[in-house]
Amino acid sequence: MHASRLQILLTTVAGLFLLGTVAIFAVFALAPGTAVVYRPFLLTAFVVTLFISLVCVAWLMRGLLRPYSQLIGEAQRAPVAHSGKRQNEAAFVLETFQSVIAQLQEQQKELQRLSEQASQRADSAEAFSDRIVASMPTGLLAFDAKGHATVSNGPARDLFHNSRIAPGQHFNTVFADFPALAEMVDACLSSGRLYRREEIETTNGSEAAKRLGATVAPIDPASETGSRGALCLITDITEVTRLREQVALKKNLESLGEMSAGLAHEFKNAMAALHGYAQFLQSVDRDEQGQVAADAMLQEVRNLSEMTTAFLNFARPQALQLEEISLDELIEECTRELKPLFESRRVELVIASARGSSASVSEPPAVAGGPDVRADPRLLRQALLNLLRNAAEAIPENQTDRRVIIANAVARDQGKQWAVISIRDTGPGIPAADLERIFIPFFTTKSQGHGIGLALAHRVITEHGGSLTASNVAEGGAEFTVRLPV
């Protein structure tokens, strides 16, 4: 722009200067007072100056017209349609550039339309991805390279609590109660390690123990600096694990019953013969020492016979006679039957209702409002009697607080309703090393008994599709929890 203006200015100044020079030469050459001898020289100078002027003007005009010529050439090469009418170069250039501008405007509109379509597709894909993440039944969590949460869905927030997961929150905060998960995410971010279907068991404060299945994978392939993020897929497999353990236990019990039923039956026949001989010796006249020995032998034979009978009841598969029963009524029957035992051991039996009130067994028990379940009343009654009897016998004679508390309530877990019966005593509790063996047949920590009552109760509850667990409570004592499907 500035070069064109400078060329125009120089052309104008040079033209005016040369025209002035030519005019001066012409005036002097044609003036009457000019000597004749100078006239040919002046005329020659005039012609030379005029020629130089024309050459300079032509050169300057060529420089001025070169951009215009290039513009015309570009306009002729432009792929645009022309009207076909004869027109001067200025009109041709103007028409060409108008066509080019129109094409650019159309292309701009097309680019804007394509950009809007791409933006809509991106928004649609993002919304679809969000819906997929939200509808997944598995908990999903994603962390960036620095370990900050970027994505989480509803199941994940249910597992780790809504208030605990927020965008930008560090995985150590999210998994504060799940250190094993935090270690897995840390290893994945630092080294790109992949964890596939890992099982984690943990407790969260006052909540029951949970078993989680977790897969932790790097978002990008591993490199020297680790991954760019970590993706966590987490599922609560507590119920699945419980069912798997129950199925395994049933198979083990069935195998145990098949192997030992025949042997126990033959053993019981032998005990019957020994019992007959012991009774015969007891009836024969002999000295006092022989009588004591015969009485002791008869008692031992009776004990072995009782133990064999109990083992047969445990090992022999029993068909369930299911019917609708009220747990409240069944608990009342069990407490009335064991009332003499509790009174003899000076243990208070307390029935706690679902509303939090309680009543001593010596008074009319409050209606707990528990659910009805389908169960075999004879077998379930036997299991509850064993649990209550075990709780009463677990309290030492020299202990001041002598209570057994039984409660019946309804709980919801994994979308199912469960009848929950808890039996808690105020005794010394169960040693930690014995908690895992407490339901093994013939295992007992008491000086008397065969160690078959808890194992039998565990089997009965398991055959009903429920679970029986033992734990120690913070206030002291042991607690047995029965869960039955409603």
Of 82-91, 148-157, 160-169, 354-363, which gets the smallest average pLDDT?
A: 354-363
Q: Write out pLDDT tens, residues 32-78.
A: 655 555 667 666 766 777 677 777 767 766 666 666 666 666 666 66
Confidence of residue 154 (pLDDT cuts 50, 70, 90): confident
**Range 138-162 average pLDDT:** 82
Instruction: Output the furthest CA–CA distance in the chain (Å, rounded).
Output: 194
User: Three-state DSSP class for 397?
Assistant: coil
Summarize pLDDT for 286-336 with one digit per residue, the tens: 677 777 777 777 777 777 777 677 666 666 666 778 899 988 889 989 988
pLDDT of residue 219: 84
Confidence at residue 414, expressed as pLDDT on a 0 to 100 scale? 64
pLDDT of residue 131 exceeding 80, the answer is no
Angstrom distance (rounded) from CA 290 to CA 280 = 12
CA distances from 345 to 192, 341, 478 (A): 62, 6, 18
Which range is least confidently modeled, 80-89, 142-151, 193-202, 215-224?
80-89
Q: What are the CA-CA distances from residue 362 to residues 339, 343, 366 (Å)?
A: 8, 10, 12
Domain 136-236 matches domain 323-485 at the CATH topology level = no
CB 229 within 8 A of CB 219: yes
Segment of 23-32, 160-169, 402-411 carrying the highest mean pLDDT:
402-411
Q: Above 50 in pLDDT, residue 355?
A: no
Instruction: Provide the strand spans (E) within 133-186.
Output: 139-144, 149-152
Q: Does residue 188 carry a pLDDT above 70?
A: yes
Contacts of 207 (CB under 8 A, 6+ apart): none
Q: How far apart are CA 23 and CA 26, in angstroms?
A: 5
* Residue of 88, 181, 86, 108 lying closest to 141 (CA atoms): 181
Q: Residue 190: its pLDDT value, please?
A: 85
Cα–Cα distance between 392 and 426 in angstroms, integer?
9
Q: 107 or 444, which is more confident?
A: 107
Burial call 29-46: b when 16+ CB within 10 Å, e when fewer = beeeeeeeeeeeebeebb
Please say whether the beta carbons of 334 and 385 come within 8 A: yes
Mean pLDDT of the chain: 75
- Model pLDDT, residue 260: 64
Contact 205, 177 (CB under 8 A): yes
Contact 42, 28 (CB under 8 A): yes
CATH class of the region 323-485: alpha beta
**Domain 136-236: which CATH number of 3.30.450.20, 3.10.129.10, 1.10.287.990, 3.10.20.90:** 3.30.450.20
Question: What is the domain partition of the chain in residue ranges?
Answer: 2-77, 136-236, 242-315, 323-485
* Confidence at 482, pLDDT banded by 50, 70, 90: very high
